Amino acid sequence: MKKIINLLLVVSLALVSILYGSSTTASAQEREPISVGILQFNAHGSLDENYRGFIEGLAELGYVEGENLTVNYVNAAAEVSQLPSLASSIEAESDYLFAIATPSAQALANTTQDKVILFSSVADPIGAGVVDSLEEPGRNLTGTTNIGPIEQQINEILLPLVPEAKKIGLIYNSSEINAQYQVDIAVPILEEQGIEPVIKTISSTNDISQAMNALVNEEVDGIYLVTDNYIAASMALVGEIGKEAGIPMVGGSNDMILENGLATYGLDYYELGVQTAEMLVRIIDEDLDPATTPVELANYLELVVNEDYANAIGIDPQEIYDLMEE
């Protein structure tokens, strides 16, 4: 059984969003028609939920697909070379644009400087070059970042589960800015605890089996998963290798863990999509400038435990729940 416990249902920003949503919800008949072009980098649980939350969030606020909302959606299937042409195609047909994941945000940013672009599932929008700062984006882009509480994930979940750990593995696509940013945060946290980070990089999903087996062969005591699009799309394989070796895998997105990992304290990508939809409607209703509309952190964080994985590697799931209650 897979179980989710919500530890923080709502934080202050969420309250603002809920209050905003309840006071401005309008029927489709009251909204002027708009078209939104959506560029998703690839298909996996987290990004798919991000998309679904965005569409359903717009519907809650009065923009209903097929009534007053036209959605021009394309999925790049992780083909980076196709992003520029896909971005151009939806830009020409859309009033507003929504980028799901860092490569999509970069592609749309290079396509137009005039139309409003919302992004989500971008961990480091500054490093990606799509905003000048989180508080003052400075361009025609703003949105939500999917950076999670990395220190908590490592120090409050992973390391307590392997208190004698000497090596922790990390695996990610070295060309993905989103992933590199998180690794650069995680490595010093591990080193501060006297733990050796063992890093394996990939350039495509074809490298994952070899990289995971290399981590197993180096006898890592656990694996910290960053939210990497290539790893997320291959969690069935990643999790099976980790499970067979009895290795706890913590971090990454909720959807990655639910598919085939141990645990995380992280964000809900569906809710992140809803939050981004609320931002777009606020920009429309209040005629806001994306350049001065701050990038938002996720409103919701939750503890996710995959009990099947825990039982498979000999960990009592209750032990993980207890960690977050201490």
Between CA 117 and CA 131 the distance in angstroms is: 11
CB-based contact 57:277 (threshold 8 Å): yes
Q: Which residues pair with 65 in a beta bridge?
A: 69
Mean pLDDT along residues 243-263 = 94
Higher per-residue pLDDT: 27 or 82:
82
Q: How far apart are the first and last CA of the chain?
A: 24
pLDDT for res 265: 93
- Average pLDDT, whole number, for the chain? 91
Q: Where are the domains of the chain?
A: 11-146+267-300, 150-266+303-323
DSSP characters over 176-222 = -HHHHHHHHHHHHHHHHTT-EEEEEEESSGGGHHHHHHHHHHTT-SE
Exposed/middle/buried for residue 23 (C-beta within 10 Å: 0-12, 13-18, 19+): exposed
* Predicted pLDDT of residue 247: 97
Residue 8, beta-bridge partner list: 301
4 or 252, which is more confident: 252
What does the angle CA 81 – CA 35 – CA 78 come to, to the nearest 5 degrees? 20
pLDDT at 279 exceeding the cut of 60: yes
Kindly report the CATH number that applies to the domain delimited by 11-146+267-300. 3.40.50.2300
pTM: predicted TM-score of the whole model, two decimal places: 0.83
Give dist(CA 167, CA 235) in Å, integer. Answer: 21
CATH topology of domain 150-266+303-323: Rossmann fold (3.40.50)
Is pLDDT of 16 > 70?
no
Residue 184's region, left for phi above 0, alpha for psi from -120 to 50, else beta, is alpha
Contact of 269 with 258, CB cutoff 8 Å: no
Query: What secondary structure letter does DSSP report for 314?
Result: T
Longest dimension (CA), the chain: 61
Q: Which residues of 195-227 are buried (b: 16+ CB within 10 A; e: fewer)?
A: bebbbbbbeebebbeebbeebbeeebbbbbbbb
State CA 238 to chain mean position distance: 18
Position with higher pLDDT, 6 vs 230:
230
pLDDT of residue 8: 39
- pLDDT given at position 3: 47
In the numeric block, the tokens 């025609």 are attached to 140
Whether pLDDT at 9 is above 70: no
11-146+267-300 shares its CATH topology with 150-266+303-323: yes
The C-alpha torsion from 238 through 244 and 246 to 252, rounded to 10°, is 10
Average pLDDT on 86-103 reads 97
Contact (Cβ atoms closer than 8 angstroms) between residue 197 and residue 191: yes
Residue 152's pLDDT is what?
94
pLDDT of residue 72: 98
Instruction: Collapse the DSSP code of 299 into the 3-class scheme (helix H, G, I; strand E, B; otherwise coil) and give the result.
Output: coil
State mean pLDDT over 196-217.
Answer: 96
* Percentage of the chain exceeding pLDDT 70: 91
